[in-house]
Amino acid sequence: MGKGNVGVAGAYEGLFYIDNEDFHVYRRNDDLDDWPETRLMRDLDYAELTGDGWLFDEEGTANEEDDVLECFKDDFCRRFPSFQRTEPDTWIRNGAYGNLCRQVILENGLFYVCVEDNEWSLAVELIQKEEMWGDVWMENLQKRLYQKYLDGMKTSLLKRLPGIGTYKGAWTSGRITNPPVLA
């Protein structure tokens, strides 16, 4: 489950967590095979993860993370055409004087959508843009739209993932899962 150590501070901000087990890829430790078997972390039990039969696959993990984020961006931008993709290396600070730890993946005139490493998960955040002098018009629009955008983020993430983590408070989190599909 997503660890709750990454959070947002703005009045009209929110986030969801993508658990590492949903995009970390492991490959079978078989040097003789050109195409070793791969599995997601969630599909391996504790003995398999701690044994020497499976190795963490950095390239496979990077590819899976990219695919999850691409699916999210495609679906979210289809829902909300005002959001545009950003340049690949666009970063913003976590707070006014914080580190440049939030990678911006989408933006519109009011918000950024960022990803941030959370050790046990990847946080997908909706972050308010701020005018230099704190214009009231911008905050009023953000107040009206942020819940709609958060709901869209949740729906877009759940289209690709079996579940996502939610922020519940200091060091606590929850989980939203897709409803079971009836045959």
Q: Where are the domains of the chain?
A: 14-20+66-177
Q: How far apart are CA 61 and CA 52, in angstroms?
A: 18
| CB-based contacts of 44, cutoff 8 Å, min separation 6 | 26, 54
On whether the CB atoms of residues 118 and 6 are closer than 8 A, the answer is yes
Residue 4 scores a pLDDT above 70: no
pTM of the model as a whole: 0.89
pLDDT band at 34 (very low <50, low <70, confident <90, very high): confident
The pLDDT mean for the chain works out to 89
